[in-house]
Structure 1
Amino acid sequence: MRRIARLALMVLGGFLVLLGIVIAPLPGPFGLPISVVGMVVILRNSYWAKRQFIRAQHARPKYFYPFRRLMRRRPEFAPVFWQQALRMERLLLKRGKRVLSRTRRSFRASFRRASRA
């Protein structure tokens, strides 16, 4: 019974990965999160995929760290996606044009001022 459930979850994960690939060309970032969820479902249910993931992680730890954070028992979705958004912003935009990091700093400063008062 467990084997059937595990196989069904692997098929669901594969379907989500394929769905994310199909959706990726559409406007908006909807394909990437769907593919990531599919990868996490596959990695949680396949020993072979886990071994391949560990090999890839040893080769490029920086790239696979977000996946590891999402595979924990209680994954923290918001911090992972925020970290990835900052990373993509750093890759795509010049230093003076980054919006997310400035927004975060101003939000933190206003929060600190409000907590002091």
Structure 2
Amino acid sequence: MTDRHPVSRALQLALGILLIVAAGIVGPLPGPGGIFLFAGGLVLVLRNSRWAQVRFARAKRRWPRIGGLVDRAMRRRSALRRHARDKLRPR
């Protein structure tokens, strides 16, 4: 995790949880709004909660294909390094 102020991290975590809850409320409405709210909330929660990061790492081991897509969508450094390494690897 980064060296952000603890209050800032707590506010971002609360906003992420709020977005995930709002996605459940907006989800039944027509249009893809719930998907974007959920994705934004997930990003904020994963960047600010060690508990969520551990759970996400376990889920990635169980479903590596989906985990890789989420990593790339979040532009995580580990995914960018892995993608660059895979490009250099001979087939």
- Whether the TM-score (by the shorter chain) exceeds 0.5 is yes
Structure number with bigger Rg: 1
Amino acid of the structure 2 residue aligned with 1:7: A
Q: Percent identity?
A: 36
Choose the corresponding residue for 2:68, options 59, 65, 71. Answer: 65
Question: Are residues 62 and 35 of structure 1, via their aligned partners in 2, closer, same or farther at CA, if it must alter by over 3 Å?
Answer: same
- Count, aligned residues: 74
Is 1:29 the counterpart of 2:32 in the alignment?
yes
Distance 1:66 1:34 in 2: 17
The residue aligned with 1:14 is 17
Answer yes or no: is the 8 Å Cα contact 1:44–1:71 preserved in 2: no
TM-score normalised over the length of structure 2: 0.73
Q: Matched residue of 1:44: which SS? A: helix
Root-mean-square deviation (CA), in Å?
Answer: 1.8
Distance 2:15 2:8 in 1: 10
Residue deviations 1:30-71 (CA, integer Å, cap 9, x gap): 101110110011101111111110000000012222221132
The residue aligned with 1:56 is 59
Structure 1 unpaired stretches of 5+: 75-117
Structure 2 unpaired stretches of 5+: 78-91
Residue deviations 1:59-88 (CA, integer Å, cap 9, x gap): 0012222221132269xxxxxxxxxxxxxx
TM-score normalised over the length of structure 1: 0.58
Answer yes or no: is the 8 Å Cα contact 1:40–1:70 preserved in 2: no
Runs of 4+ in 1 over 6 A off after TM superposition: none
The residue aligned with 1:3 is 6
Higher relative contact order (CA 8 A, sep 6+): 2
